[in-house]
Chain A
């Protein structure tokens, strides 16, 4: 397959300057464009560092020792930084910090990336309205970003990342400040996203299993396992201290298995397993 249709991480090692330990060790993975990757792991497992590598923040903005190859759709972060950056949308862990700090309204904040590209106002307005509708922020367009709640601010941060319609979306714990309804809406929205490769760090295992094509588990900077949610959770080691999805736990307790003898991880599979049993 073409290199420009894939995201390739080859033996990535990352160490911050002055740190003793590596934050990422020998990370290898290849992803086909258009997939949704759910990244999980306990704290300090290297999730945020991985997001920084995928977004090109390391080595372009934060200097760190990095070796190995990172290639996004044919672009290298060092050699093709403009094109690399143009093809990604990044949602950082801290939503308030992601905002520009010089926007009067939510609309201005959403428009920022497009204004930077010198696009015409009519185009910008249309795109901003569209993104606001997707993120449920239409009523807040005229408000100051400062006045938003934590969850709304997080949706605004996601909005600023998708407003340029990036080919690759990288989100570091984007629902941490959302209420259950907001989170449900977010994952519902994520399920509808098309033609975009998504890397999402989250601790919402159930929701991740519903939307993700693949789950990556990081432990102490190593990518210890990756594969479909069903495969990953059916081969989970207790030592990793990763919680299982609710569907899996329930099915295991009831001994409801799928055709291939595995336990289900999503609600649809759970129903399938239940129906097969009865």
Chain B
């Protein structure tokens, strides 16, 4: 791809363009559908942040953060109330993906793996206090919670046990989502990538 020095725009765009305005609901929809697919196939991952990833990659961290936030608010107000509070986690994921993508950390198979780990850490760090406040540290996923119980039974601090519980789940989920997003993004037609990236 040719570089376009004249049209270089900052990744931080706070005024939502008309393109971003229709991208965000689509991203939230993709989150929902990906989650439904994962549940249908009984995959041990959520995949519910795929749309947030794509929005961040296409239109920057702010678009991704807004997608993540709205995703959880709408999910919370229509299906599962407690998920609303995890909107903060989704904002963090959106911002992390947007920055990493803008800095070129989604450009190769190897780099995507490192990005996924960073995103998983961000997600787990934000989620852990919420898990402690609302669920005494649990995540609600059986094998993660077994790990949690095991650690607490052996007198590990709740914070550490909860972080571990969340992180092992997050690392698997975010690696899967990051690779899916990476492969899908590469398949998108250039006109589409341009349309959502354009400053107009």
Contacts and interface: CB of A to CB of B under 8 A. Distances in A.
A–B: direct contact at CB < 8 Å: yes
Interface of A: 16-18, 61-63, 101
Contact of B191 (A16, A61, A101): A16
B25 interface: yes
A16 B191 CA distance: 8
Interface stretch (B38-46, B178-186, B192-200): B192-200
Given A17-B194, A61-B18, 13 more contacts: A16-B191, A18-B1, A18-B2, A18-B190, A18-B191, A18-B194, A61-B200, A62-B195, A63-B194, A63-B198, A63-B200, A101-B22, A101-B25
8 contacts: A18-B190, A18-B194, A61-B18, A61-B200, A63-B194, A63-B200, A101-B22, A101-B25
B4 to A, nearest CB: 8
Lowest 9 CB-CB distances: which A-B pairs, in order? Answer: A18-B190, A63-B198, A17-B194, A63-B200, A16-B191, A18-B194, A62-B195, A101-B25, A61-B200
Interface in B1-55: 1-2, 18, 22, 25
Contacts of A61: 18, 200
Contacts of A101: 22, 25
A61 B200 CA distance: 7
Interface residues of B, number: 11
Contacts of A18: 1-2, 190-191, 194
A263 to B, nearest CB: 41
B186 to A, nearest CB: 15
Consensus secondary structure, chain B interface: helix
Of B1, B2, B22, B194, chain A has the most CB atoms within 10 Å of the CB of B194
Contacts of A62: 195
A61 B17 CA distance: 11
Contacts of A63: 194, 198, 200
A152 B52 CA distance: 33
Nearest to A97: B22
Contacts of A16: 191
A61 B195 CA distance: 9
A52 B1 CA distance: 25
A53 to B, nearest CB: 16
A40 B25 CA distance: 35
Contacts of B194: 17-18, 63
Contacts of B190: 18
Contacts of B25: 101
A82 to B, nearest CB: 16
Contacts of B2: 18
Nearest to B195: A62
A17 B192 CA distance: 11
Contacts of B198: 63
A34 to B, nearest CB: 32
Interface string B76-102: 000000000000000000000000000
Contacts of A17: 194
A244 B190 CA distance: 36
A18 B198 CA distance: 13
A63 B194 CA distance: 9
A61 B22 CA distance: 14
A16 B190 CA distance: 10
A17 B200 CA distance: 14
A17 B25 CA distance: 26
A226 B91 CA distance: 55
A17 B1 CA distance: 11
A61 B19 CA distance: 9
A62 B18 CA distance: 11
A116 to B, nearest CB: 13
B23 to A, nearest CB: 12
Nearest to A61: B200
A17 B191 CA distance: 8
B115 to A, nearest CB: 25
A101 B26 CA distance: 11
Nearest to A18: B190
A61 B1 CA distance: 23
A25 B122 CA distance: 51
